[in-house]
Amino acid sequence: MFEGPIQDLIDELARLPGIGPKGAQRIAFHILTADKADVERLSDSLRHVAENVRFCERCFNISESETCRICRDPRRDQTAICVVEESKDVMAIERTNEFRGLYHVLGGAISPIDNVGPGDLHIRELVIRLGDGTVTEVILATDPNLEGEATATYLSRLILPMGVTVSRLASGLPVGGDLEYADEVTLGRAFQGRRTLGDPAGARG
């Protein structure tokens, strides 16, 4: 244990994901000996994020205003929504240049073990967005792991009866992994090769 401010910093850092007590100590001592201007830049950027960055009211992507850059762009295809778990997945898909539609960020995946049910995700908001009939295709781009698959299955059962085409990214993504870890080429191919799930209710008969 150290004294005062340095221990406070170690404690705060240790609460961050992926940083254990040792990592927290290493970062704290790095900050202690770093250039003052560098530390101020880090501190400013933390404050800026806390004060100015929020979630888009429409798609829940990170945003600096009420709606995000993608939702505000009139050139985006308003008839397709790609559903992802986290904002970082939006960045990963944007890098592939395969998709020109809109997004919907769920804020996680269904996971009974972690006590995350459909009600904890932005699913109700997605259903509301589909309500006016503008969107004709929903692409489920949840992670290729157990929770992501369970979430995709849940969503397809919910959305298909609304008469919307539902597709899932093609296999070929590293199974069990996170979408964000797939390289651009693999993710781009998975996007091109997406397969349609079931029949939308409106297309029947």
Q: Is 105 in the site for Zn ion (CB under 5 A)?
A: no
Q: Which of residues 44-73 bind Zn ion (CB under 5 A)?
A: 56, 58-59, 61, 68, 71
Residue 104 or 194: the one with the smaller Cβ distance to Zn ion is: 104
Is 106 a residue that touches Zn ion (CB under 5 A)? Answer: no
Residues 176-195 touching Zn ion, rule: CB under 5 A, are none
User: By CB under 5 A, what part of segment 70-99 binds Zn ion?
Assistant: 71
CA gap 34, 41 in Å, rounded: 12
- Neighbouring C-beta atoms of residue 195, cutoff 10 Å: 9
Give the C-alpha distances (Å, rounded to integers) separating 74 from 78, 83, 101, 125, 204.
8, 19, 10, 21, 32
Residue 48 or 72: the one with the smaller Cβ distance to Zn ion is 72
* Burial label, 26 (beta-carbon count in 10 A; 0-12, 13-18, 19+): middle
With binding defined as CB under 5 A, does residue 167 bind Zn ion? no
139 binds Zn ion per the rule CB under 5 A: no
Binding site for Zn ion (CB under 5 A): 56, 58-59, 61, 68, 71
